[in-house]
Amino acid sequence: MIALVTGANGFLGSSLVAGLLSQTDYQVRCIVRPGSSIEKLKKTATDFPDRCEIKYGALHNYSICLDIVKNVDIVFHLASAKSGAPAEMFHGSSVTTKCLLDAIVNTNKTIRLVHCSSFSVYSVAELKSREMVNEHTPLERHPEKRDLYAFSKWHQEQLIREYYKKYNIPTVILRPGVIYGPGGTPISTRVGLSVFGVFLFIGGRNILPLTYIDNCAEAFLTVAEKAAFEGETYNIVDDDLITAGKFLSLYRAQVLRLRFIRVPYPLMWLLSVLCEKYHVRSKGQLPDVFTRYKSASMWKPQTFTNMKLKQLGWTMKVPTDLGLAKHFEYLT
C-alpha cells in the first residue's frame, strides 16, 4: 500500500510522514516543491530507508502529478501556499489541487483522498458571539473579504468537493484549527499581532481552537483508517482548549516577556471601521489590513467541538499542557 503526502516537508507534513512510517505499514511517497529544504524529512526517512521515498515535484504540472500518483492507494493532500502574491497563492493551492485531482481521476485505480482544509473556510463572521463552530457551520459566502489564505483554502476545498461529486473520488476533508508545536508559528494571530513592533493583544478571553501537531497528525491517521470516505468533514481541535489570554501569559512567563497593548474586541471593531474608511477614501494608499469582516472572522469569540472526530475513534495523545510546554520550550 502506498500513501502519497503532498506538502510533506511542511510543519504538519513532516509530522504526518513520521506518523505514517512509525504507526502504519504504508510505503510513504513524499512530494515536496522544487527548491524546498528536505532536511527534516531526510532525517525521518533515514530510520525507514525502505519505506520512504522523497520526490521533488511541481504539482501544477499535470504530467508530474500523473507520475506521482502512480500505484498510490491514498493521498494526503497537505500542499497549499501560505503566503505570496494573490496569483501565486491560488497557483500554489488551487491550480496544483486541480492538476492532482485530474491525475487521480485519470488513473485506473481508485485512490482515496484525505484533504487538509482549514478552519478559515467557515463563515464565522456571520455567527453569533460564542456560537459553536462545528462541521455544520456554513462555509464562507464572501471568502474574498477574508485574507488571501482563507480565500485560496476555500477555493481549494470547493474544487475537492466538485471533483468528489463529479468523479466520486473517495474523499474526506479535515479542517484543523490552529496547529501548534515545536517549529510552528510562535503566537497565532487569534491571540494578537505585531504592528510596527508593538504587540496588539486582541484575543482576550476567546477560546483558541488549538491542536498540537502530533494530535493533528494522529487525526489524519485515524481518518485514513476509519472514515467512510463519502465526502465527510471533520474538524480538528484538542480537548482542554485555553483562552488567548492564558496562551499569552504562558508565553510571557516561559518564552519572552513580550510588551503588549490590550485591544478589546469593540475597540478592534472601531479600528477596523476607521481602517476601512481610510482605505476607501485614500484609494488604497494603505492596505485594508483590518476590516470589520476580517476582525469578526478572527477575533469574535467562538466555541469549538471535536465530538465528530472523537466518535470516529480519535484520541488526543499529547495533552494541552504538555503540548504547550513543548511549544514554548522550542521557542526558548
Binding stretches for other proteins (CB under 8 A):
33-35, 58, 61, 83-88, 90-91, 94-95, 98, 144, 151-152, 155, 281-285
- The C-alpha cell at 266 is 469593540
Q: How far is the CB of 155 from other proteins (least distance, A)?
A: 7
Minimum distance of other proteins from residue 69's CB (angstroms): 20
Residue of 197, 121, 191 lying closest to 155 (CA atoms): 121
Could you write out the three-class secondary structure of 147-182? Answer: CHHHHHHHHHHHHHHHHHHHHCCCEEEEEECEEECC
Give the residue with the Cβ less far from other proteins, 94 or 233. Answer: 94
Residue 61 or 243: the one with the smaller Cβ distance to other proteins is 61
Q: Which is nearer to other proteins, 90 or 304 (CB)?
A: 90
CB of 262 to other proteins, least distance (A): 29
The dihedral over CA atoms of 232, 237, 239, 245, expressed in degrees to the nearest 10, equals: -150
Nearest distance, CB of residue 35 and other proteins, angstroms: 4
Nearer to other proteins, 61 or 254 (CB): 61
The minimum distance between CB 266 and other proteins, in angstroms, equals 28
Query: Is the Cβ–Cβ distance between 38 and 54 less than 8 Å?
Result: yes
Handedness of CA 303, 309, 310, 314 (dihedral sign): negative
| Smallest distance, other proteins to C-beta of residue 170, A | 24
Determine the Cα–Cα distance for residues 125 and 292; give it in Å rounded to an integer: 9
d(C-alpha 175, C-alpha 293), whole Å? 21
Burial of residue 315 (CB within 10 Å: 0-12, 13-18, 19+) is: exposed
Nearer to other proteins, 61 or 107 (CB): 61
Least distance between other proteins and beta carbon 239 (Å): 37
Strands 192-195 and 198-201: antiparallel
Cβ distance to other proteins smaller for residue 34 or 266 = 34
- Name the residue nearer to other proteins (CB basis): 31 or 217: 31
Integer-rounded Cα Rg, in Å, for the chain is: 20
H-only helix segments in the chain: 11-23, 39-46, 62-68, 86-90, 96-105, 148-167, 213-226, 244-254, 265-281, 292-299, 307-312, 320-331
259 vs 283 by CB, closer to other proteins:
283
Instruction: Give the nearest distance from C-beta 168 to other proteins in angstroms.
Output: 22
Nearer to other proteins, 56 or 330 (CB): 56
Whole-angstrom Cα distance, residue 157 to residue 90? 12
Smallest distance, Å, CB 103 to other proteins? 16
